[in-house]
Structure 1
């Protein structure tokens, strides 16, 4: 049975899922036998890496100019929680954030348009696939041990903003992150990451098809995995978070651009305002154990008077 036939039969549950004999390799979704299995890959063995590393400062500058100016464009990293009990989907922290360019064929066009230089560089990388995004890990945080879904994909990380004491560990072998120096590993092996500094760490993360796969196999794999329920659920989660953050970003940008008008509360005095316009409760200075309590309702104005609903 060839790899394409095996992958199709696994996804359609005709064939049982095989397991790797490597002690630290446990892909959560599919294991394709016969592919070379090693935790780390040496970047110098990939012809395109030198050109990418030479351009890392262009990517870094675009990140600083276009992305970090509006941090609401970053969304929480999230995967489905119900598919695999050992996946990173059970990680609930907000300290791992992502700025997505594409996810298994789905483009986040607004982000691509915001970073045209980075997008063009990414398009020049052969056999790129899967997740493509800026990945931010906030200060004093840890991504716990986990395994990726497939063993036919390699993960690449290009460090862009790297404070001291940032580390990646794959199959219990650790490497320090160095700005502008690519790391390539098989994320079907157990791996984890640390940011033990007081600043946020940001990398460019993207995936590659395994070098043992032929071009014909890749074409078939792309069709099959994009119809996988796991991938579809990942897409739904990311798109939902992206649209939510985009809405929040538009509100925050509007607040920043407009002159704020404050209306102080006075005990016993009613305040009426339109709920259709952007509004917020201004922060107040309160003594310990003090609280602001209001009775809030809605009203309709008609025939010269207000009808209030509580």
Structure 2
């Protein structure tokens, strides 16, 4: 899935057949615990491209283009402005999408246990043996044979809903096997045809249209998926799970208001629905209604219902509690850690590589990047002077931080490299600085980081937050540092910058910044690959 988000505005892209979460714990205290997301094929659980701030484009015209891992695929979700920080605005996409996949799977399995769906009308019961024979081939993996059998049945019995449904399922399976979007389009059309036939059992209508909506979303046909779900809700107005799915579809389309309206309707009818509560709370938080979001997120998580147990809900609840001064935030972070969502209470990144050394603060020697550190410290005056010339020019190169990370103050950033790509237009303003960095590929090739200047005015406080991944370390070179009032906390250790000196920390751990001086603070941020990543990993990890 590939999305970029601002608040809850999205535009859909696509998805896959199933979702699965694998959690691997490496250390007793969780510092090495890694979380990866994907499915049996290593494909992304969903594709979407948020509407306002695209940072990751993907084409779904061919299945082989979906060979990204989900953790890489969803990397862009975290970083609305490309600075690698994970905040209220950034994580929403994953939240909704993962729960959409997971809740559907679980809810459907529960439904199956309670009541076996009735998929045959009276006529189809008379040809049940022929249907079963074709279905048996499909279940044995003989998909081509099954498809031929169902095609023959449809030709022989064109008004049979179950035969046409079997044909659609076989086309669906064959599309997955061949990674063919063309075949999947045939399946979507066949699913649609089933629902349009006369005398279709209600259970078959529901199963058909739900799968049709899912496959439409996979193909990036988000509006078509929304229309299909709206039809389902009209046919089955009492099915709350369908309303919840419709809310997700609105989010994927970028219709934040529509999603909010849907979840309000759900909660009016089912006030204890956990899925609706966490998503409604999530929307409120994206609207900066921090205090109002807390009870919905908390009560939704407490239900333990399918679709609620996800690290991003724990993250946002904890973040909201922190911003209101409620120390129970760390209880929820601890709960998220116990549930396997976070590496630890402090380290809450979600796009991780297993087994990497996890510690909040690093020395240059520990990173192995001493040459880079020495170069930065040796040339800090040159770097500072170029940055000040840009700052003094009022050229508009320093852009405001826009991820809602600040409680107070002004914070601007001027980016030179992002996701391992040089921003040539920016480097024209600071050619000496960019020239100094060119040969240090541990920084310039870091697809999960940035290189940028950061200016923070007096009176700025940055909320506690975490970066998205454990795959990088962050260097801060002090350029203009007031004598008092500027400090950074990472976990429970607080330090201050020095002019001409480099601080190194792992921003996947919680960190917080105070600028209480009387003048501005200017630093140079250089993200580098985690030193324990192999060359192959550095080449194949997708950007964040």
Tell me if TM exceeds 0.5.
Answer: yes
Deviates more, 1:210-219 or 1:7-16: 7-16
> What do residues 150-176 of structure 1 show as CA deviations (whole Å, max 9, x unaligned)?
111111110101012211110020111
Contact 2:407 2:460 in 1 (8 A): no
Structure 1 residues 62-73: aligned runs within 5 Å: 62-70=386-394, 72-73=396-397
Structure 1 residues 106-121: aligned runs within 5 Å: 106-121=421-436
Shift of 1:71: 5.5
Shift of 1:131: 1.4
Shift of 1:123: 1.8
Show the counterpart of 1:26. Answer: 348
Contact 1:19 1:31 in 2 (8 A): no
Q: Secondary structure at the match of 2:452?
A: strand
Shift of 1:51: 2.2
Q: Is structure 2 residue 531 aligned with structure 1 residue 211?
A: yes
Contact 1:152 1:210 in 2 (8 A): yes
> How many pairs were matched up?
214
Shift of 1:192: 0.7
Quick one: structure 1 residues 11 and 216, their matched pair in 2 at CA, closer, same or farther if it must change by over 3 Å?
closer
Instruction: Give TM-score, length-normalised by structure 2.
Output: 0.36
Structure 1 residues 129-278: aligned runs within 5 Å: 129=446, 130-164=449-483, 165-221=485-541, 224-225=542-543, 231=544
Show the counterpart of 1:47. Answer: 370
Instruction: Give TM-score, length-normalised by structure 1.
Output: 0.62
Shift of 1:110: 2.0
Contact 1:44 1:50 in 2 (8 A): no
Contact 1:158 1:181 in 2 (8 A): yes
Contact 2:405 2:463 in 1 (8 A): no
Show the counterpart of 1:58. Answer: 382
Quick one: structure 1 residues 71 and 37, their matched pair in 2 at CA, closer, same or farther if it must change by over 3 Å?
same
Contact 1:20 1:33 in 2 (8 A): no
Q: Is structure 2 residue 35 aligned with structure 1 residue 35?
A: no
> What do residues 203-236 of structure 1 show as CA deviations (whole Å, max 9, x unaligned)?
0012111111011110001xx22xxxxx4xxxxx
Show the counterpart of 1:76. Answer: 400
Q: Secondary structure at the match of 2:538?
A: helix
Quick one: structure 1 residues 91 and 163, their matched pair in 2 at CA, closer, same or farther if it must change by over 3 Å?
closer
> What do residues 139-195 of structure 1 show as CA deviations (whole Å, max 9, x unaligned)?
121111000011111111101010122111100201111001101110000001111
Shift of 1:64: 2.2
In 2, the alpha carbon distance for the partners of 1:114 and 1:11 equals 32
Between Structure 1 and Structure 2, whose CA radius of gyration is higher?
A: 2
In 1, the alpha carbon distance for the partners of 2:519 and 2:412 equals 14
In 2, the alpha carbon distance for the partners of 1:77 and 1:31 equals 25
Q: Secondary structure at the match of 1:73?
A: coil
In 1, the alpha carbon distance for the partners of 2:72 and 2:395 equals 38
Show the counterpart of 2:88. Answer: none
Specify which structure has the higher proportion of helix. Answer: 2
Q: Which runs of 5+ in 2 are unaligned?
A: 1-21, 25-33, 43-67, 74-97, 103-309, 312-339
Contact 1:20 1:31 in 2 (8 A): no
Shift of 1:132: 1.2
Q: Which runs of 5+ in 1 are unaligned?
A: 80-88, 226-230, 232-310
CA RMSD of superposed structures (Å): 2.8
In 2, the alpha carbon distance for the partners of 1:92 and 1:103 equals 25
In 2, the alpha carbon distance for the partners of 1:90 and 1:116 equals 30
**Which structure exhibits the higher relative contact order, with contacts defined as CA atoms closer than 8 Å and separated by 6 or more residues?**
1
